[in-house]
Amino acid sequence: MLIIKGEVPPFAFAKYDQKTQAFRCEAIYYRSVKETLEAKGFEVLDEALERQSFKSFTHTIKLREYQEEAYTRWISAGKRGVIVFPTGAGKTAVAIHAISELSKPTLVVAPTLDLVSQWEGLLKSFGAEVSVLGGGRKEVGSLTVTTYDSASIHYEELGNKFELLVFDEVHHLPAPVFSRIALGSLAPYRMGLTATPEREDGLHSLLPFLVGPVVHSASHEELAGKYLSEYETEVVKVKLSQKEREQYDALMEVYRSTLKKYNIRLRSPAEFQRLVVLSGTNREIRKALLARTEAQKIAFNASGKIEVLRALLERF
């Protein structure tokens, strides 16, 4: 939560709190508030960010032309935005270049502990001092790598510590349980990395608000031959087992019925923000968001996928 004190103009996204005699809004608006006040000639005393020293490091990565273009466009977009590259095209290289160039306290968020370990190893190979939050480790330093799950749990603690957020596989971020990582952070600079920005639930429309717009995109067809191997993509549909389907339907019914009860429709960033804010004080809504997350886990980890994978491996 960001608190704005003093005789300042009202902001559409901020509410005035009579008790504290101050405006309050989500931390994500920090940059907008500060830049607006400074542009209007206000002298701003910034006590929101916790200033941390950052040990600079240099990397030996030689960016390819399309990677350099992605970084340049991200800079031009105000150091906010999403980079869309196919798998294997080197999204991580662009992010490491950005972390090194900015030399600001940075939080890297990845979906799994395996990816956290990869990020840690790669950053350390260039001499960076890396802390890890997750998997039994509770380190928080000026360059921290964590999972979406851990960042979501500790978002209040992390919110004022970083100036750059890097979201690996950023399509995970708009999920209601994870979006508060972005909403609750003051970080003025944000980078999202993904090969597949679209989500079936349409919540990818929130990414411009949470992280920034797509600043650069390169398809496999554009990079095949010179940078990537040729391959064909085939979609194999897998059905949930009867037990999985029953569990999935029950969890999604909890989610949908709760949204209907509170007349919440996720058609805009404002509606989504309302849902996340309410989950902080409303146990029923929080339970609904957790139910939706569990339903997604069932769909993503369907037992049928293992059987299909086993059959494919036997064929090839």
Question: Distance between CA atoms of 192 and 197, rounded to whole angstroms?
Answer: 9
Under 8 Å between Cβ of 192 and 167: yes
**Crossing angle of helices 283-300 and 242-261, rounded to 10°:** 150
The answer to the question of residue 234 being in a domain is no
Under 8 Å between Cβ of 177 and 152: yes
Same domain, 157 and 297: no
Same domain, 160 and 122: yes
**Which residues, listed in sequence order, are joined to residue 4 by a DSSP beta bridge?**
23
**Residues in the chain with pLDDT < 70?**
268-270, 272-273
In this structure, how many other beta carbons lie within 10 angstroms of the beta carbon of residue 197?
A: 17
Same domain, 171 and 282: no
Instruction: State the amino acid at position 117 in one-letter form.
Output: S
Question: Distance between CA atoms of 216 and 75, rounded to whole angstroms?
Answer: 11
Contact partners, residue 192, CB within 8 Å, separation at least 6: 81, 82, 83, 166, 167, 170, 173, 207, 211, 212
Residue 18 CA neighbour count, 13 Å, CB half:
0
The answer to the question of residue 187 being in a domain is yes
The answer to the question of residue 60 being in a domain is no
Same domain, 212 and 249: no
The two structure tokens encoding residue 244: 């999985």
The answer to the question of residue 232 being in a domain is no
Give me the pLDDT at residue 128, please. Answer: 96
Same domain, 121 and 151: yes
CATH classification of the domain holding 103:
3.40.50.300
The answer to the question of residue 231 being in a domain is no
- Name the domain boundary from 223, 254, 289: 223
**Which residues, listed in sequence order, are joined to residue 81 by a DSSP beta bridge?**
191
Three-class SS state of 283: helix
Same domain, 79 and 190: yes
Give me the pLDDT at residue 176, please. Answer: 81
Give me the pLDDT at residue 269, please. Answer: 60
The two structure tokens encoding residue 66: 């399309």
Q: Dihedral (C-alpha) 284, 181, 140, 287: value to the nearest 10 degrees?
A: 10
**Strands, E assignment, the chain:** 2-4, 15-17, 22-25, 80-84, 106-110, 131-134, 137-138, 143-147, 164-168, 189-194, 214-217
**Crossing angle of helices 91-102 and 65-76, rounded to 10°:** 50
Give me the pLDDT at residue 209, please. Answer: 93
Same domain, 206 and 281: no
Same domain, 117 and 261: no
- Name the domain boundary from 223, 252, 267: 223
Closest CA to 109 of 136, 133, 83: 133
The answer to the question of residue 228 being in a domain is no
Under 8 Å between Cβ of 288 and 255: yes
Give me the pLDDT at residue 270, please. Answer: 64
The answer to the question of residue 191 being in a domain is yes
Same domain, 85 and 30: no
Range of the domain at 135: 65-223
Give me the pLDDT at residue 271, please. Answer: 72
| β pairing state of 164-168 and 131-134 | unpaired
Give me the pLDDT at residue 278, please. Answer: 76
The answer to the question of residue 59 being in a domain is no
Same domain, 164 and 294: no
**Which residues, listed in sequence order, are joined to residue 193 by a DSSP beta bridge?**
83, 168
Give me the pLDDT at residue 300, please. Answer: 83
Count structural domains, the chain: 3
The residue with tokens 């900015």 is: 102
- Using a cut of 0.85, tell me whether the model's pTM lies above it: no
In this structure, how many other beta carbons lie within 10 angstroms of the beta carbon of residue 206?
A: 22
Order of strands across the sheet that contains 106-110? 137-138, 131-134, 143-147, 106-110, 164-168, 189-194, 80-84, 214-217
Contact partners, residue 21, CB within 8 Å, separation at least 6: 5
Same domain, 146 and 20: no
Same domain, 24 and 91: no
